[in-house]
Amino acid sequence: MSDASSAIPAGPDPVVLATDAVPNGPGETAAADAAHHLSALLRVSGVSKVYGEGHTAVTAVSDATMAVDEGEFVALLGPSGSGKTTLISIIGGLLAPSTGSVEVRGTEVTGMTTADLTRFRAEKVGFVFQAANLVPFLTARENLLYVSSLVKSISKKQAQQRADQLLEELGLAQRAKNLPEQLSGGERQRVAIGRALMNDPDLVLVDEPTAALDTSMGRQVVQLLRREIKARGKTGIMVTHDLRMVEYTDRVFEILDGTLTHVEQPSALQH
């Protein structure tokens, strides 16, 4: 895939916000939808996250239940402050819920020890963050190799071969020796996608991948995410507030004020 824009414009195109959505009709509730997915790779059951106590308590996520099948690429859609990043952080083992459970391939994540959580994140989850979060003093190739060093079962030779293969597939073979500051915004996000896939995870979690990109580059990045997730049979969740991007997903989970409301088909959210 070519990088159509080597420089990110001063300001991205106006974003179509989640709050602007006019669905054709309310979809099924997330909890009711989960009941249909008996063999889901990811199952979230009654998850809540509360900060503080008493009258100062703030509920970031409230009683969230959802299920995502292997090979699906879904969106978690909501406005800023809706709790979507908190929920995806709980799913990825970065935050502990106040109540509820998260299971990946039948293994409960929420009951893991600190050591087991570290292993789970390194081996089973790939993260793509909003700002790419690449290590600034490592080249594109070295950013991928660093992630592989966290998994003891991958030899150095295997890691080098996989990094080169991923960079080639992502159209970055000629940029492998470049530092992040020498890459465009789209290229940095492609490196971040390669890093997320490096350890062959079950789950790929993506937080606002198009926030700093214009419409054209944002579409390229999300199309690439979908292609790579589908080709590898992974399960992907993309957090977004941008309705322009949900058309590339299989289903859309809507979240508002910390509560998962409905599950929609992407076509139901198009103007």
User: Where do the DSSP E strands lie in 160-202?
Assistant: none
Cα separation, 68 vs 251, whole angstroms: 9
Residue 234 clears pLDDT 60, i.e. is over it = yes
Diameter over CA atoms, the chain: 56
pTM for the full model? 0.84
Give SS3 for 215: helix
The amino acid sitting at 256 is L
Residue 6 in any domain: the answer is no
Which of 254-257's residues contact partners 24+ apart within 8 Å by CB, and which partners? Answer: 254/18, 254/21, 254/27, 254/77, 254/78, 255/64, 255/76, 255/77, 255/78, 255/82, 255/83, 255/84, 255/87, 256/78, 256/79, 256/82, 257/62, 257/82, 257/83
Residue 8 in any domain: the answer is no
Q: Are 218 and 210 contacting, i.e. CB atoms less than 8 angstroms apart?
A: yes
Cα separation, 150 vs 115, whole angstroms: 12
148-166 pLDDT, tens digit per residue, is 988 877 889 999 999 999 9
Structure token pair of residue 258: 């910390």
81-104 pLDDT, tens digit per residue, is 999 999 999 999 999 999 999 999
Residue 108 in any domain: the answer is no
170-185 pLDDT, tens digit per residue, is 999 999 999 999 999 8
Rounded to 10 deg, the angle between the 185-197 and 215-232 helix axes is: 20
Give SS3 for 223: helix
Cα separation, 81 vs 43, whole angstroms: 23
Residue 143 in any domain: the answer is yes
Backbone angles phi, psi at 33, to 5 degrees: -60, -40
Of 97, 171, 103, the closest CA to residue 140 belongs to 171
pLDDT of residue 3: 44
Residue 11 in any domain: the answer is no
Structure token pair of residue 139: 């080249």
The amino acid sitting at 166 is L
User: Positive or negative CA dihedral for 232, 234, 238, 244?
Assistant: positive
Residue 59 clears pLDDT 90, i.e. is over it = yes
pLDDT of residue 26: 59
Q: Are 12 and 215 contacting, i.e. CB atoms less than 8 angstroms apart?
A: yes
| Number of domains forming the structure of the chain | 1
As a whole number of Å, the end-to-end CA separation of the chain is 28
Edge-to-edge strands, sheet with 28-29: 28-29, 259-264, 251-256, 73-77, 235-240, 203-207, 125-128
Residue 99 in any domain: the answer is no
Q: Which domain holds residue 124?
A: 71-94+113-269
- Domain CATH number, residue 87: 3.40.50.300
Residue 31 in any domain: the answer is no
Residue 105 in any domain: the answer is no
Most confident of 7-16, 69-78, 237-246: 69-78
pLDDT > 90: percent of the chain = 66
Helix or strand run (H / E) with residue 66: strand 58-68
